Amino acid sequence: MAKAFTEGRRILNEDGTASVVFAHKTTEGWEALLIGMVRGGWTITGSWPIATERPGRLRSQDSAALATSVHLVCRPRPDDAPVGDWADVLRELPARVGDWMERLQGEGVRGADLVFACIGPALEIYSRYRQVETAEGRQVGLPEYLERVWEVVGRTALENVLGAVEAKARNGMAGALEEDARLTALFLWTLQSTGADASSEDSGDVAENEDDEADDAPRDKPKGYSLVFDVARRFAQPLGIELPKWEGRIIETNKGAVRLMNVTERGKQLFGDDGADTAAEWMERDPRVNVQQVLFPEAETAPRKKRTRSRGGKVLIAGDAEMQAPDATTLDRVHAAMLLQASGRSQALRNLLKAEQERGPDFLRLANALSALYPSVSEEKRLLDAMLLAVPR
Protein backbone atom coordinates (compact mmCIF):
# COMPACT_ATOMS: atom_id res chain seq x y z
CA MET A 1 0.00 0.00 0.00
CA ALA A 2 2.90 2.35 0.73
CA LYS A 3 4.24 1.72 -2.80
CA ALA A 4 0.82 2.50 -4.29
CA PHE A 5 0.47 5.75 -2.35
CA THR A 6 4.05 6.73 -3.16
CA GLU A 7 3.28 6.35 -6.85
CA GLY A 8 0.09 8.35 -6.44
CA ARG A 9 2.01 11.19 -4.85
CA ARG A 10 4.62 11.08 -7.62
CA ILE A 11 2.13 11.62 -10.43
CA LEU A 12 0.06 14.26 -8.62
CA ASN A 13 0.74 17.96 -9.00
CA GLU A 14 2.19 19.61 -5.91
CA ASP A 15 -1.03 21.63 -5.47
CA GLY A 16 -3.28 18.63 -6.15
CA THR A 17 -5.52 16.70 -3.78
CA ALA A 18 -6.36 13.04 -3.38
CA SER A 19 -9.38 11.38 -1.81
CA VAL A 20 -9.26 7.91 -0.30
CA VAL A 21 -12.59 6.21 0.42
CA PHE A 22 -12.32 3.51 3.06
CA ALA A 23 -14.59 1.49 5.36
CA HIS A 24 -13.29 -1.21 7.67
CA LYS A 25 -14.37 -2.28 11.14
CA THR A 26 -11.01 -3.48 12.46
CA THR A 27 -8.19 -1.35 13.78
CA GLU A 28 -5.67 -3.49 11.85
CA GLY A 29 -7.34 -2.58 8.57
CA TRP A 30 -7.18 1.11 9.37
CA GLU A 31 -3.58 0.92 10.53
CA ALA A 32 -2.53 -0.81 7.31
CA LEU A 33 -4.17 1.92 5.22
CA LEU A 34 -2.84 4.83 7.26
CA ILE A 35 0.71 3.53 7.51
CA GLY A 36 0.72 3.20 3.73
CA MET A 37 -0.52 6.78 3.32
CA VAL A 38 2.00 8.28 5.75
CA ARG A 39 4.90 6.32 4.29
CA GLY A 40 3.73 7.33 0.83
CA GLY A 41 4.29 10.99 1.70
CA TRP A 42 0.74 12.23 2.27
CA THR A 43 -0.72 14.69 4.79
CA ILE A 44 -4.38 14.10 5.71
CA THR A 45 -6.20 17.44 5.66
CA GLY A 46 -9.83 16.39 5.98
CA SER A 47 -12.00 13.44 6.94
CA TRP A 48 -15.72 13.03 6.29
CA PRO A 49 -17.99 10.06 6.95
CA ILE A 50 -20.64 9.68 4.26
CA ALA A 51 -23.58 7.28 4.64
CA THR A 52 -23.13 4.61 1.97
CA GLU A 53 -24.73 1.48 3.45
CA ARG A 54 -28.39 0.50 3.65
CA PRO A 55 -29.68 0.83 7.24
CA GLY A 56 -31.34 -2.21 8.78
CA ARG A 57 -29.44 -4.75 6.69
CA LEU A 58 -28.78 -8.09 8.35
CA ARG A 59 -25.15 -7.59 9.23
CA SER A 60 -25.87 -4.26 10.95
CA GLN A 61 -28.06 -5.91 13.59
CA ASP A 62 -26.51 -5.97 17.07
CA SER A 63 -22.96 -5.67 15.72
CA ALA A 64 -20.58 -2.83 14.98
CA ALA A 65 -21.21 -2.87 11.23
CA LEU A 66 -20.52 0.42 9.50
CA ALA A 67 -23.17 2.59 7.89
CA THR A 68 -20.65 5.07 6.47
CA SER A 69 -17.52 5.15 4.38
CA VAL A 70 -14.85 7.60 5.49
CA HIS A 71 -13.55 9.93 2.81
CA LEU A 72 -9.98 10.97 3.65
CA VAL A 73 -8.84 14.11 1.84
CA CYS A 74 -5.07 14.45 1.57
CA ARG A 75 -2.32 16.47 -0.05
CA PRO A 76 1.33 15.72 -0.79
CA ARG A 77 3.46 16.33 2.30
CA PRO A 78 6.23 18.85 1.51
CA ASP A 79 9.71 17.37 1.27
CA ASP A 80 10.89 19.95 3.82
CA ALA A 81 8.18 19.11 6.38
CA PRO A 82 9.46 19.58 9.95
CA VAL A 83 10.01 16.98 12.66
CA GLY A 84 7.18 16.96 15.20
CA ASP A 85 7.55 16.91 18.97
CA TRP A 86 5.74 13.93 20.56
CA ALA A 87 4.68 15.94 23.61
CA ASP A 88 3.12 18.65 21.43
CA VAL A 89 1.27 16.07 19.35
CA LEU A 90 -0.18 14.43 22.47
CA ARG A 91 -1.29 17.77 23.90
CA GLU A 92 -3.17 18.64 20.72
CA LEU A 93 -4.83 15.24 20.26
CA PRO A 94 -7.59 15.26 22.96
CA ALA A 95 -9.03 18.64 21.96
CA ARG A 96 -8.98 17.73 18.27
CA VAL A 97 -10.74 14.41 18.80
CA GLY A 98 -13.19 15.85 21.33
CA ASP A 99 -14.25 18.69 19.03
CA TRP A 100 -14.68 16.32 16.11
CA MET A 101 -16.70 13.79 18.12
CA GLU A 102 -19.03 16.55 19.30
CA ARG A 103 -19.56 17.78 15.75
CA LEU A 104 -20.17 14.31 14.30
CA GLN A 105 -22.59 13.35 17.08
CA GLY A 106 -24.52 16.53 16.34
CA GLU A 107 -24.85 15.34 12.75
CA GLY A 108 -26.16 11.90 13.74
CA VAL A 109 -22.96 9.88 13.34
CA ARG A 110 -22.80 7.18 16.01
CA GLY A 111 -20.88 4.17 17.23
CA ALA A 112 -18.20 2.53 15.09
CA ASP A 113 -18.78 5.10 12.34
CA LEU A 114 -17.92 7.85 14.82
CA VAL A 115 -14.84 5.98 16.05
CA PHE A 116 -13.29 5.57 12.63
CA ALA A 117 -14.36 9.01 11.40
CA CYS A 118 -12.20 10.49 14.18
CA ILE A 119 -9.07 8.86 12.78
CA GLY A 120 -8.74 11.39 9.98
CA PRO A 121 -8.71 14.50 12.20
CA ALA A 122 -6.28 12.74 14.56
CA LEU A 123 -3.99 11.94 11.63
CA GLU A 124 -3.96 15.57 10.54
CA ILE A 125 -1.80 16.24 13.60
CA TYR A 126 0.65 13.39 13.02
CA SER A 127 0.91 13.35 9.22
CA ARG A 128 1.87 17.02 8.84
CA TYR A 129 5.36 16.11 10.09
CA ARG A 130 8.14 14.24 8.31
CA GLN A 131 8.42 12.21 11.47
CA VAL A 132 7.53 12.57 15.15
CA GLU A 133 10.16 12.20 17.87
CA THR A 134 10.28 12.18 21.66
CA ALA A 135 12.48 14.59 23.61
CA GLU A 136 15.13 11.84 23.72
CA GLY A 137 15.15 11.57 19.93
CA ARG A 138 13.22 8.30 19.65
CA GLN A 139 11.04 8.13 16.54
CA VAL A 140 7.37 7.47 17.30
CA GLY A 141 5.75 5.19 14.75
CA LEU A 142 2.16 5.47 13.58
CA PRO A 143 0.99 2.29 15.41
CA GLU A 144 2.06 3.82 18.74
CA TYR A 145 0.26 7.04 17.89
CA LEU A 146 -2.91 5.18 16.90
CA GLU A 147 -2.92 3.42 20.27
CA ARG A 148 -3.19 6.87 21.84
CA VAL A 149 -5.96 7.77 19.38
CA TRP A 150 -8.06 4.72 20.43
CA GLU A 151 -7.47 5.61 24.08
CA VAL A 152 -8.54 9.24 23.63
CA VAL A 153 -11.68 8.19 21.71
CA GLY A 154 -12.56 5.66 24.44
CA ARG A 155 -12.02 8.12 27.28
CA THR A 156 -14.03 10.81 25.50
CA ALA A 157 -16.87 8.35 24.93
CA LEU A 158 -16.88 7.31 28.60
CA GLU A 159 -16.89 10.94 29.69
CA ASN A 160 -19.93 11.54 27.49
CA VAL A 161 -21.95 8.62 28.85
CA LEU A 162 -20.71 8.14 32.44
CA GLY A 163 -18.78 11.25 33.44
CA ALA A 164 -15.25 12.54 33.83
CA VAL A 165 -14.36 10.28 36.76
CA GLU A 166 -14.94 7.11 34.73
CA ALA A 167 -13.07 8.59 31.77
CA LYS A 168 -9.96 9.00 33.92
CA ALA A 169 -10.38 5.82 35.95
CA ARG A 170 -7.97 2.94 35.87
CA ASN A 171 -8.73 -0.26 37.78
CA GLY A 172 -10.24 0.50 41.21
CA MET A 173 -10.02 4.27 41.24
CA ALA A 174 -12.09 5.73 44.05
CA GLY A 175 -15.38 7.29 43.01
CA ALA A 176 -15.56 5.53 39.66
CA LEU A 177 -17.90 2.76 38.57
CA GLU A 178 -16.30 -0.66 38.32
CA GLU A 179 -14.61 -2.10 35.23
CA ASP A 180 -17.64 -4.13 34.12
CA ALA A 181 -19.84 -1.02 34.07
CA ARG A 182 -17.27 0.93 32.06
CA LEU A 183 -16.79 -1.96 29.65
CA THR A 184 -20.55 -2.39 29.13
CA ALA A 185 -21.09 1.33 28.56
CA LEU A 186 -18.21 1.58 26.10
CA PHE A 187 -19.39 -1.60 24.34
CA LEU A 188 -22.93 -0.27 23.86
CA TRP A 189 -21.68 3.17 22.84
CA THR A 190 -19.56 1.64 20.08
CA LEU A 191 -22.55 -0.38 18.83
CA GLN A 192 -24.83 2.61 18.37
CA SER A 193 -26.14 2.94 14.83
CA THR A 194 -25.74 5.95 12.56
CA GLY A 195 -29.16 7.19 11.50
CA ALA A 196 -31.24 4.44 13.14
CA ASP A 197 -31.39 2.14 16.15
CA ALA A 198 -30.84 -1.57 15.84
CA SER A 199 -34.11 -3.29 15.10
CA SER A 200 -33.48 -6.85 16.14
CA GLU A 201 -32.77 -8.66 19.37
CA ASP A 202 -31.02 -11.58 17.71
CA SER A 203 -27.29 -11.50 17.99
CA GLY A 204 -25.43 -10.15 14.99
CA ASP A 205 -22.42 -12.02 13.65
CA VAL A 206 -19.48 -9.75 12.94
CA ALA A 207 -17.84 -12.03 10.41
CA GLU A 208 -16.98 -10.46 7.07
CA ASN A 209 -19.21 -12.88 5.17
CA GLU A 210 -22.21 -12.58 7.46
CA ASP A 211 -24.69 -11.87 4.66
CA ASP A 212 -23.58 -14.96 2.77
CA GLU A 213 -23.76 -17.26 5.78
CA ALA A 214 -27.00 -15.93 7.23
CA ASP A 215 -29.10 -18.84 5.99
CA ASP A 216 -26.73 -21.37 7.54
CA ALA A 217 -26.46 -19.60 10.90
CA PRO A 218 -27.70 -21.62 13.88
CA ARG A 219 -31.18 -20.65 15.01
CA ASP A 220 -30.34 -21.00 18.69
CA LYS A 221 -27.19 -18.91 18.86
CA PRO A 222 -26.93 -16.80 22.04
CA LYS A 223 -28.40 -13.33 22.15
CA GLY A 224 -26.20 -10.34 22.76
CA TYR A 225 -24.18 -7.66 21.04
CA SER A 226 -20.90 -8.31 19.26
CA LEU A 227 -17.70 -6.39 18.63
CA VAL A 228 -14.60 -7.45 16.76
CA PHE A 229 -12.14 -8.61 19.43
CA ASP A 230 -9.43 -6.24 18.26
CA VAL A 231 -11.70 -3.20 18.62
CA ALA A 232 -12.81 -4.26 22.11
CA ARG A 233 -9.20 -4.87 23.17
CA ARG A 234 -7.90 -1.57 21.77
CA PHE A 235 -10.46 0.38 23.78
CA ALA A 236 -10.38 -1.69 26.98
CA GLN A 237 -6.64 -2.06 27.50
CA PRO A 238 -5.65 1.64 27.75
CA LEU A 239 -8.57 2.24 30.12
CA GLY A 240 -7.34 -0.39 32.55
CA ILE A 241 -10.16 -2.85 31.72
CA GLU A 242 -8.99 -6.47 31.73
CA LEU A 243 -11.15 -8.45 29.28
CA PRO A 244 -10.15 -11.92 30.61
CA LYS A 245 -11.34 -10.88 34.06
CA TRP A 246 -14.91 -10.54 32.75
CA GLU A 247 -14.92 -13.56 30.45
CA GLY A 248 -17.94 -15.75 31.23
CA ARG A 249 -19.38 -13.11 33.53
CA ILE A 250 -20.48 -10.32 31.18
CA ILE A 251 -18.68 -11.19 27.92
CA GLU A 252 -17.87 -14.24 25.81
CA THR A 253 -15.13 -14.40 23.19
CA ASN A 254 -15.49 -16.69 20.19
CA LYS A 255 -14.03 -16.71 16.67
CA GLY A 256 -12.49 -13.27 16.90
CA ALA A 257 -15.59 -11.57 18.29
CA VAL A 258 -16.51 -10.43 21.80
CA ARG A 259 -20.18 -10.83 22.73
CA LEU A 260 -21.80 -8.81 25.49
CA MET A 261 -23.96 -11.36 27.26
CA ASN A 262 -27.68 -10.79 27.48
CA VAL A 263 -28.93 -9.90 30.96
CA THR A 264 -31.15 -12.99 31.07
CA GLU A 265 -28.05 -15.18 30.73
CA ARG A 266 -26.81 -13.91 34.08
CA GLY A 267 -29.71 -15.30 36.10
CA LYS A 268 -27.76 -18.22 37.59
CA GLN A 269 -24.74 -16.04 38.29
CA LEU A 270 -26.84 -13.56 40.24
CA PHE A 271 -29.47 -15.78 41.85
CA GLY A 272 -28.18 -19.36 41.63
CA ASP A 273 -30.21 -22.32 40.43
CA ASP A 274 -33.28 -21.26 42.43
CA GLY A 275 -33.68 -18.10 40.37
CA ALA A 276 -35.02 -14.61 40.98
CA ASP A 277 -38.42 -15.82 42.19
CA THR A 278 -36.91 -17.51 45.26
CA ALA A 279 -34.96 -14.37 46.12
CA ALA A 280 -38.09 -12.27 45.64
CA GLU A 281 -40.16 -14.51 47.93
CA TRP A 282 -37.54 -14.22 50.64
CA MET A 283 -37.33 -10.43 50.31
CA GLU A 284 -41.11 -10.05 50.39
CA ARG A 285 -41.62 -12.52 53.23
CA ASP A 286 -39.58 -10.50 55.72
CA PRO A 287 -39.78 -6.76 54.85
CA ARG A 288 -37.84 -5.92 58.03
CA VAL A 289 -34.66 -7.57 56.71
CA ASN A 290 -31.80 -5.27 55.72
CA VAL A 291 -31.89 -5.91 51.98
CA GLN A 292 -28.75 -3.90 51.40
CA GLN A 293 -26.66 -5.91 53.84
CA VAL A 294 -27.95 -9.35 52.91
CA LEU A 295 -28.28 -9.05 49.14
CA PHE A 296 -25.27 -6.83 48.53
CA PRO A 297 -23.03 -6.82 51.63
CA GLU A 298 -19.89 -4.74 51.59
CA ALA A 299 -18.13 -7.38 53.66
CA GLU A 300 -18.53 -11.13 53.81
CA THR A 301 -20.83 -11.07 56.84
CA ALA A 302 -24.07 -12.60 55.55
CA PRO A 303 -24.90 -16.08 56.94
CA ARG A 304 -24.47 -18.84 54.39
CA LYS A 305 -26.57 -21.96 54.23
CA LYS A 306 -25.63 -23.10 50.77
CA ARG A 307 -22.68 -22.34 48.52
CA THR A 308 -22.96 -22.67 44.78
CA ARG A 309 -21.00 -21.22 41.94
CA SER A 310 -21.81 -20.97 38.27
CA ARG A 311 -19.28 -21.49 35.52
CA GLY A 312 -17.33 -18.35 34.71
CA GLY A 313 -18.55 -16.17 37.58
CA LYS A 314 -19.67 -15.91 41.18
CA VAL A 315 -23.21 -16.62 42.26
CA LEU A 316 -24.56 -13.56 44.01
CA ILE A 317 -27.66 -15.11 45.56
CA ALA A 318 -28.24 -18.80 46.19
CA GLY A 319 -30.11 -21.30 48.35
CA ASP A 320 -32.53 -19.29 50.48
CA ALA A 321 -31.67 -16.14 48.48
CA GLU A 322 -28.80 -15.00 50.66
CA MET A 323 -25.91 -13.14 49.07
CA GLN A 324 -22.90 -15.29 48.16
CA ALA A 325 -20.47 -12.73 46.71
CA PRO A 326 -19.38 -9.68 48.71
CA ASP A 327 -17.74 -8.16 45.61
CA ALA A 328 -20.99 -7.54 43.73
CA THR A 329 -20.54 -4.63 41.34
CA THR A 330 -22.94 -1.82 40.53
CA LEU A 331 -23.66 -3.52 37.20
CA ASP A 332 -24.51 -6.76 39.05
CA ARG A 333 -27.01 -4.84 41.14
CA VAL A 334 -28.60 -3.20 38.10
CA HIS A 335 -28.87 -6.57 36.33
CA ALA A 336 -30.39 -8.16 39.45
CA ALA A 337 -33.04 -5.42 39.53
CA MET A 338 -33.76 -5.94 35.84
CA LEU A 339 -34.30 -9.66 36.42
CA LEU A 340 -36.63 -8.96 39.33
CA GLN A 341 -38.54 -6.64 37.01
CA ALA A 342 -38.70 -9.39 34.38
CA SER A 343 -40.05 -11.84 36.95
CA GLY A 344 -42.86 -9.47 37.90
CA ARG A 345 -41.90 -9.34 41.59
CA SER A 346 -42.67 -5.66 42.12
CA GLN A 347 -42.48 -5.60 45.91
CA ALA A 348 -39.06 -7.27 45.98
CA LEU A 349 -37.91 -4.84 43.32
CA ARG A 350 -39.09 -1.84 45.32
CA ASN A 351 -37.27 -3.15 48.40
CA LEU A 352 -34.08 -3.52 46.40
CA LEU A 353 -34.40 -0.09 44.77
CA LYS A 354 -34.96 1.56 48.13
CA ALA A 355 -31.85 -0.12 49.50
CA GLU A 356 -29.81 1.01 46.49
CA GLN A 357 -31.00 4.60 46.87
CA GLU A 358 -29.80 4.53 50.46
CA ARG A 359 -26.48 3.08 49.35
CA GLY A 360 -25.66 5.97 47.01
CA PRO A 361 -26.21 7.47 43.53
CA ASP A 362 -24.16 5.01 41.45
CA PHE A 363 -27.00 2.52 40.86
CA LEU A 364 -29.35 5.06 39.28
CA ARG A 365 -26.54 6.83 37.48
CA LEU A 366 -25.51 3.62 35.73
CA ALA A 367 -29.10 2.50 35.07
CA ASN A 368 -29.97 5.79 33.39
CA ALA A 369 -26.78 5.73 31.32
CA LEU A 370 -27.44 2.19 30.09
CA SER A 371 -31.05 3.06 29.31
CA ALA A 372 -29.78 5.77 26.98
CA LEU A 373 -27.29 3.41 25.33
CA TYR A 374 -29.40 0.31 24.65
CA PRO A 375 -31.21 0.24 21.28
CA SER A 376 -34.73 1.62 21.68
CA VAL A 377 -36.41 -1.66 20.72
CA SER A 378 -34.23 -3.93 22.87
CA GLU A 379 -35.57 -6.04 25.72
CA GLU A 380 -32.90 -4.62 28.03
CA LYS A 381 -34.09 -1.08 27.30
CA ARG A 382 -37.68 -2.09 28.10
CA LEU A 383 -36.67 -3.74 31.39
CA LEU A 384 -34.48 -0.82 32.45
CA ASP A 385 -37.14 1.79 31.75
CA ALA A 386 -39.81 -0.23 33.56
CA MET A 387 -37.45 -0.75 36.50
CA LEU A 388 -36.66 2.98 36.65
CA LEU A 389 -40.37 3.78 36.81
CA ALA A 390 -40.52 1.76 40.03
CA VAL A 391 -37.83 3.84 41.75
CA PRO A 392 -39.29 5.52 44.87
CA ARG A 393 -39.66 9.28 44.41
| DSSP3 helix / strand / coil % (the chain, rounded to 5) | 50, 15, 35
At 88-101, the pLDDT tens digits run 999 999 999 989 88
Between 203 and 49, whose confidence is greater?
49
Give 40's contacts (C-beta < 8 A, 6+ positions apart). 1, 2, 3, 4, 5, 6, 8, 9
Does residue 137 carry a pLDDT above 90?
yes
Residue 55's pLDDT band (cuts 50, 70, 90): low
pLDDT of residue 169: 65
Residue in 230, 149, 143, 231 with CA at minimum distance from that of residue 186 = 231
Does residue 210 carry a pLDDT above 90?
no
Does residue 315 carry a pLDDT above 60?
no
At 142-177, the pLDDT tens digits run 989 988 998 898 888 888 888 867 767 665 454 578
pLDDT of residue 370: 93
At 343-376, the pLDDT tens digits run 887 877 888 888 888 888 999 999 999 999 998 8
Domain boundaries, the chain: 1-208+222-261, 266-389
pLDDT of residue 175: 58
